[in-house]
Structure 1
Amino acid sequence: MTLLPVVLLHPAYSPFTVVALVVLAHVAPYLADAFGYNKQPSIPGPWLAKFSDAWLGWVAAQGSRSEVVHQQHLKYGKFVRIAPNHISIADPDALQIVYAHGNGSLKSNFYDAFVSIRRGLFNTRDRAEHTRKRKIVSHIFSQKNVLEFEPYVRSYIEQLTNVWDNMYTDSLKGKLHDGCESKNGRVWFDCLNWYNYLAFDIIGDLAFGTPFGMIEAGKDAAPIAEIGQSDKAQVKYVPAIKTLNDRGDFSASMGVLPPWIRPYVKRIPWYSKGNQAVANLAGIAVAAVNKRLAEPTDRNDLLTRLQQGKDENGQPMCKEELTAEALTQLIAGSDTTSNSSCAITYYLAKNPRAQEKLQRELDDALGSIDDTAGSATSYEQVKRLRYLDACINEGLRLHSTSSMGLPRIVPAGGLEVSGRFFPPGSVLSVPSYTIHRDPEVWGEDVEEYRPERWLVEDDTMIQKTFNPFSFGPRACVGRNLASMELLIIISSIVRRYDIVLKDPNAKLETREGFLRKPLDCYIGLKRREV
């Protein structure tokens, strides 16, 4: 099949022959049914998905993959065929099997579309290489090390709240900052932009030793260098947040297409733009690592820890590998934090009863609000607050940044999942978006933001189903850092401000590349006094 594009270009073939060959190339594998998906009981799904990856490719490019796949599960049930060899399984019990430690499953070629500088921990498919990389990287995110990063995190939260304080007080005086409105004693603005600036500055400082300066500048800009340039190469500035979004859209839609067609698809203008975003994002990492290595420091941050890391043979990462891992941290650490913070803020603003209950918990635990400009809570102060934790988890349930089912290849010997046997080579995934809306686990009000569902005495099934950071040996290594950031960000913001939505009936509109991102979130903010 890899020769098919070349064959079709041969002048000896008429248009009719070309069409016949294309149809045959898709129908023949379906009829052969190598994985038994057509056998009774057959696995249902969209008609086109049985024959071609084009259905999933189109859905992914539209930015609504998780929602569309969810609708297919509502229509067809637990098993849905979303590509010729890709079965989506909407069953919480399947998580423990498909993504389990020691089951031998591998990441599919979906992850090849995310490689730029070189393979990193996220997109490495080889088991031995992944084990090597995880040994170097995982200890960096131990709870002990993460707590040593807390002062950096808090400093940027304080910088953000200081800016928001100024925006609020200036609005009361009739002085408006860019993008702000003043009405009813509040300052109104899109908080998504600011959460993006916050997340990029935090991860820029932790991963590269210096922030991007987005909070201070109030805009999206980061320096890049072209891969292969010398350390002294001149850099230019690009919108990093937009670049990251374009890169996610490109890679997620490219990854569901067959590998043989990807070089041809890249010539399509939309994909060509995304391919440039991949290069630009890599350039951001190259420029930042070059700058850091040229100015040695004794800072205790992610890049220092990556430099100190060694594999089982005592070998550190080379500069290219170091840069690739720093890029992975930039992508994972910025997108997840900003999107989650924005979504949780949206749900608390939309549900004033939950916001008020959380404020009472924070007030009872922490006392009067420190009037120091931009003061932030500490992890030690808030780590045991149950309702805060429930509010965050409920936001992550409804808006998991990683919502799609991450594909895994069934290993030799096959797997039995949810009562059905899948032979080796089958591609399986469990969609977080759908299992986070399973009424048997969460109740009939699955679309409602109700933090109290997390306060039940027996939450075994809830914890078993909750999957915001993936599961198993390839789960997110940075979840401790992400959890600490969200606890401090949400507690600092909600304790300091009273927040409402500009439109109380507004839906949180999203677009999904690899991660699911809010498009905006307009809020009205005023300072609280306790």
Structure 2
Amino acid sequence: MESVSTAVFVFAPLSAVILHELILRRIEVDHLALPILGLAITAYWGLLYYSSFIAALLVTSSFWVPLWLYIGAYRVFFHPLKDYPGPFGAKLSRWWTLKQTWDSSLHYHRVLQRLQSEHGDYVRTGPRELTIFDAAAIQSILGAQSKTSKGPFFDVMEKSLHLNRDKTFHRQRRRIWDNAMKTSLSDYAPQVEKFTDQLLTRLRNEEGESIPLLKYTTYYSYDVMAALAFGKPMGFIKGEQSDVAASILATFTNSVQALGYMYHMPWLMNTIGVLTSFAGPMKQWRDWSVASMKARMALKDAKTDLISHLIANTPADDAGRELLYGESRLIISAGSETTSTALVFIFMHLATHPTYMQAIRAEFLANISTYNCQHSLPLLDAVIHESMRLWPSVFFASQRVTPPQGLDINGHFVPGNMIVQIPLFPLSRDPRNFVEPDTFIPERWTTKPEMVLNKQAFMPFSTGPYNCAGKGLAMMELRSVIGRVVSEFDVKLEEGFSAEKYWGGVMDHFTSGPPNQMVKFMKASK
């Protein structure tokens, strides 16, 4: 019996080393968290069943402790990224990132700025992750000719245009989306204006009252995207939402902080995604979206719009239906959160810079006879762009994985199968890219182009083949709401408002998280 125990204690650490060398360092395990956890628990209970508690604990420890020690030593001293600078904790584990996010109160974008100042443009921020602050790396990582592929984050939750890593699938599906957007945006413009009408009616009825700005922009964006995804809004702007719709919106708004932590760990998002699919608010959201999509697919002689194009170009089988369900959720969740935060930031910039509010009003009213939310108005677009430069709707640096042979990026060689990413917030605040980068100056997009030193660094909708498919629609919404609301109202802030405190309170929720600010919409003199 003693010889058997000795063999077990020798074999356990040896098997841990073999596991790391043959499997863990060669494949991504983010999507295998639940199976690994299940096997570990099963093995432990099996040992406990056939032996004592002490023996089971010792055998388990003799496997896991050497495994973690070996992984730590490998990541610090032998990993292909070992020569890149970065915090010691980041080399060991992504738990370091989670701690930084927690310690900074969900201000990880500020942590990244600090890391850039301490370590330079190429910083190791994870065991196999390199965060790059060099604008010259954009095309190599995100451009049309880039040899990179999407990172493990895009394996989370469910398959859609956005959440997948198959280049061929994405290219084919993106072509369908682009064609649908091209043919349906003009037809959808009146729908956008209709929802802006509803928002204006509500603001007129509540003129001079303090209202929660984020809540109202969220109502608007969710109604627009629900209509785009399912052919009918959720009824938030008019206050006619169902209990289910209200519950779904509450699920999103209450879970954004959790997402701010989880998106740093795709394996955790995958695990929670699987577990929450069986019960709870996320199951309710999935069930509602499936029922809504089924109802939309069953409509006869439905009008031509984005979702009708997607339905017509998706196989009518189980896989096709699951794809449509996933993409309907993508349309609503991705399109709503980003637009609502963009609207909040633009309104807040105008409220703190009233001369631009007055100038936009004059420009809009001067062009009212030819106004169309699909068409640019120079100052209006400049204000939108400048707000999105300073505060992009998405802080998350889109993950890419280098090809197996590695990648040369502006004189830096990054080994194969490493995660690389370029965060937008530090990029747009870099004085090498923009003059006075922390200052709101819309003229840099109109009469002072010399203040844009590197236009390539401005990419609030990302760039390359994976850029935002809904950019055109988003700009329509922003022009419609900002132009029409400002043409009628001044945005007034509460007495004692602190701009420094407000902007310092913007959190990193994957999408950016503006503070809940109360404002007043006061009738403007024409």
1:240 aligns with 2:244: no
Listed as ranges, the matches of 1:130-141 within 5 Å are 130-141=170-181
What is the deviation of 1:432?
Answer: 0.4
More helix by share: 2
Tell me what 1:282 maps to.
Answer: 286
What is the rounded CA distance, in whole Å, between the counterparts of 1:195 and 1:263 in structure 2? 30
Q: Rate the CA distance shift 1:426–1:6 in 2: closer, same or farther, 3 A.
A: same
What is the deviation of 1:75?
Answer: 2.5
Listed as ranges, the matches of 1:463-478 within 5 Å are 463-478=455-470
Which of 179, 187, 192 is equivalent to 1:148?
187
Tell me what 2:110 maps to.
Answer: 67
What is the rounded CA distance, in whole Å, between the counterparts of 2:426 and 2:180 in structure 1? 32
Q: Deviations over 1:458-479 (max 9, x none)?
A: 5774431101111111111111
Tell me what 2:127 maps to.
Answer: 84
Q: Deviations over 1:284-326 (max 9, x none)?
A: 3212212223433422222112112258xx9998222111111
Q: Which amino acid is the alignment partner of residue 444 of structure 2? A: R
Question: Quick check: 2:443–2:449 contact (8 Å CA) kept in 1?
Answer: no
Which of 288, 308, 333 is equivalent to 1:304?
308
Gaps in structure 2 of 5+ consecutive residues: 1-23, 30-35, 48-55
Q: Rate the CA distance shift 1:25–1:291 in 2: closer, same or farther, 3 A.
A: farther
- RMSD of equivalent CA atoms: 3.1
Q: Rate the CA distance shift 1:277–1:464 in 2: closer, same or farther, 3 A.
A: farther
User: Secondary structure at 1:45's aligned position in 2?
Assistant: coil
Tell me what 1:38 maps to.
Answer: 82
Tell me what 1:451 maps to.
Answer: 442
What is the rounded CA distance, in whole Å, between the counterparts of 2:451 and 2:437 in structure 1? 16
Q: Rate the CA distance shift 1:217–1:266 in 2: closer, same or farther, 3 A.
A: closer
What is the deviation of 1:395?
Answer: 0.8
Q: Rate the CA distance shift 1:70–1:487 in 2: closer, same or farther, 3 A.
A: same
What is the rounded CA distance, in whole Å, between the counterparts of 1:306 and 1:258 in structure 2? 28
Q: Which amino acid is the alignment partner of residue 13 of structure 1? A: L
What is the deviation of 1:327?
Answer: 1.3
TM-score, normalised relative to structure 1: 0.81
Tell me what 2:12 maps to.
Answer: none
Listed as ranges, the matches of 1:8-19 within 5 Å are 9=44, 11-13=56-58
Question: Quick check: 1:192–1:342 contact (8 Å CA) kept in 2?
Answer: yes
Between 1:149-158 and 1:238-247, the stretch displaced more is 238-247
Question: Quick check: 2:192–2:476 contact (8 Å CA) kept in 1?
Answer: no
Tell me what 2:497 maps to.
Answer: 504
Q: Deviations over 1:114-160 (max 9, x none)?
A: x2xx4001111111222222122221222x53121100000010001
Question: Quick check: 2:90–2:124 contact (8 Å CA) kept in 1?
Answer: yes
Listed as ranges, the matches of 1:282-431 within 5 Å are 282-309=286-313, 318-366=320-368, 378-379=372-373, 383-431=375-423
User: Secondary structure at 1:239's aligned position in 2?
Assistant: helix
Tell me what 1:94 maps to.
Answer: 137
Q: Rate the CA distance shift 1:447–1:31 in 2: closer, same or farther, 3 A.
A: closer
Between 1:472-481 and 1:19-28, the stretch displaced more is 19-28
Question: Quick check: 1:499–1:525 contact (8 Å CA) kept in 2?
Answer: yes
Q: Rate the CA distance shift 1:13–1:340 in 2: closer, same or farther, 3 A.
A: same
Q: Which amino acid is the alignment partner of residue 156 of structure 1? A: F
Q: Which amino acid is the alignment partner of residue 504 of structure 1? A: F
Q: Rate the CA distance shift 1:397–1:150 in 2: closer, same or farther, 3 A.
A: same
Tell me what 2:164 maps to.
Answer: 124
Gaps in structure 1 of 5+ consecutive residues: 169-185, 224-236, 368-375
Question: Quick check: 1:407–1:427 contact (8 Å CA) kept in 2?
Answer: yes
User: Secondary structure at 1:379's aligned position in 2?
Assistant: coil
1:485 aligns with 2:477: yes
Q: Which amino acid is the alignment partner of residue 448 of structure 1? A: T
User: Secondary structure at 2:464's aligned position in 1?
Assistant: coil
1:212 aligns with 2:208: no
Which of 430, 440, 445 is equivalent to 1:438?
430
User: Secondary structure at 1:416's aligned position in 2?
Assistant: strand
What is the deviation of 1:64?
Answer: 2.5
Between 1:291-300 and 1:488-497, the stretch displaced more is 291-300
Question: Quick check: 1:307–1:317 contact (8 Å CA) kept in 2?
Answer: no
Task: State how many pairs are aligned.
Answer: 474
Question: Quick check: 1:500–1:524 contact (8 Å CA) kept in 2?
Answer: yes
What is the rounded CA distance, in whole Å, between the counterparts of 1:483 and 1:477 in structure 2? 12
What is the rounded CA distance, in whole Å, between the counterparts of 1:384 and 1:295 in structure 2? 35
Q: Which has the higher contact order (CA 8 A, sep 6+)?
A: 1
Between 1:3-12 and 1:250-259, the stretch displaced more is 3-12
1:203 aligns with 2:244: no
Q: Which amino acid is the alignment partner of residue 210 of structure 1? A: K
Q: Rate the CA distance shift 1:440–1:103 in 2: closer, same or farther, 3 A.
A: closer
Higher gyration radius (CA): 2
Q: Deviations over 1:311-369 (max 9, x none)?
A: 8xx999822211111111111221111110111001110111222222232233338xx
Q: Which amino acid is the alignment partner of residue 395 of structure 1? A: S
Q: Rate the CA distance shift 1:283–1:405 in 2: closer, same or farther, 3 A.
A: same
Q: Which amino acid is the alignment partner of residue 137 of structure 1? A: W
User: Secondary structure at 1:439's aligned position in 2?
Assistant: coil
Which of 16, 26, 32 is equivalent to 2:71?
26
Question: Quick check: 2:444–2:450 contact (8 Å CA) kept in 1?
Answer: no
User: Secondary structure at 2:124's aligned position in 1?
Assistant: strand
Q: Which amino acid is the alignment partner of residue 176 of structure 2? A: I
Tell me what 1:494 maps to.
Answer: 486
1:111 aligns with 2:154: yes
